Homo-oligomer: A and B are copies of this chain.
C-alpha cells in the first residue's frame, strides 16, 4: 500500500508549467467520488480553473501565495444546489437551506477533497490546499458564478511537482489521542507536546526573524491574528447566508 507515501507525504507549492491532462483529473475525480458521502447525496462540486486570466484573479483571492500559481486550481464547493434542484423537479419539498445542511455539505466536500488529494499525490502530482478559500469565499463565489446553496470550502492547487516539497513536523500521535474521555492537557503536558516543534531550527529562525518572544507569538501575532479571523468570520458567515443557508439566529 505504498508504505513510503503515507510516511513521507508533503504538500507541493512549486509546479512545472507542464499541463495536467483532463483525462487524469476526470479519472481521479471519479475514484475520489467513491469516498463516503452523507446519505449518498454527494453534496459537493468541483470547479476546474485553467484559464490564465482566471487563475491570476483566483490567485489574488488566495493572497498570491506560491501554490496559487499552479497550472490548475480546483475550487471544491459545498453544493446542495444540484440535489435540491432534483428534489424540486420531482415535486418533493426540500428543506436544505439551513445550517445543518451546510455542515453536511461541508463535510462531504472536505472528505471528497482529501480523497482526491491522496489520489493525485499517489499518481505523482503535487498538491497544496488553499485554506484561504473560506477567507474570500464571496469574491471566489462571484468569480466562479456560484448559484444559491453553493459555497467554496477549500481549494487545491495542483500540478507536476517542481521540487520535493518541505517536510513538516507533526505532533506525536499520543498528543492527538484521548481514551474514553477527553483528558485535558496540563501545563507539563503542553510543554512536552510542543517542545520538539519549538526546538526545530526552522521554527527558531521564524521566531528570530520576527523578533517574537516565542513560536506561539508568531502564530497569534503574525500568521493568524484575531483581527483577520474576525473579519474573515463575518465575511464567510454573511456569504453562507447570502447563498441561502440560514443560521438559527433568534
Question: CB within 8 Å of B: which residues of A?
Answer: 1-2, 6-9, 11, 26, 29-31, 33-36, 38-42, 44-51, 54, 77, 81-83, 85-87, 89-96, 98-101, 103-104, 106-107, 110-111, 113-115, 117-119, 122-123, 128-129, 131, 134-135, 143-147, 150, 153-154, 168-182, 184-185, 187, 190-191, 193-194, 213-217, 219-221, 223-227, 229-230, 232-234, 236-238, 247-249
Kindly identify which residue among B8, B114, B119, B143 contacts A111, using a CB–CB cutoff of 8 Å.
B114
Contact B114–A229 (Cβ < 8 Å) = no
A35→B85 CA distance, assembly (Å) = 34
A49→B47 CA distance, assembly (Å) = 38
Question: Would you list 16 pairs from A and B whose C-beta atoms are within 8 A, ordered by A residue?
Answer: A9-B34, A35-B117, A36-B117, A41-B219, A45-B177, A47-B182, A48-B178, A48-B179, A50-B180, A89-B190, A89-B191, A90-B217, A98-B233, A107-B154, A111-B129, A147-B184
Copies of this chain per assembly: 2
Distance to closest chain B CB from A113 (angstroms):
8
Kindly identify which residue among B31, B39, B220, B248 contacts A87, using a CB–CB cutoff of 8 Å.
B220
Distance to closest chain B CB from A53 (angstroms):
10
Contact B129–A36 (Cβ < 8 Å) = yes
- Residue ID in chain B nearest A128 by CB atoms: B36
CB-CB under 8 A from A36, the residues of chain B are 11, 114, 117, 128-129
A51→B180 CA distance, assembly (Å) = 7
CB-CB under 8 A from A82, the residues of chain B are 175, 185, 190, 193
Kindly identify which residue among B117, B170, B229 contacts A100, using a CB–CB cutoff of 8 Å.
B229
Distance to closest chain B CB from A225 (angstroms):
7
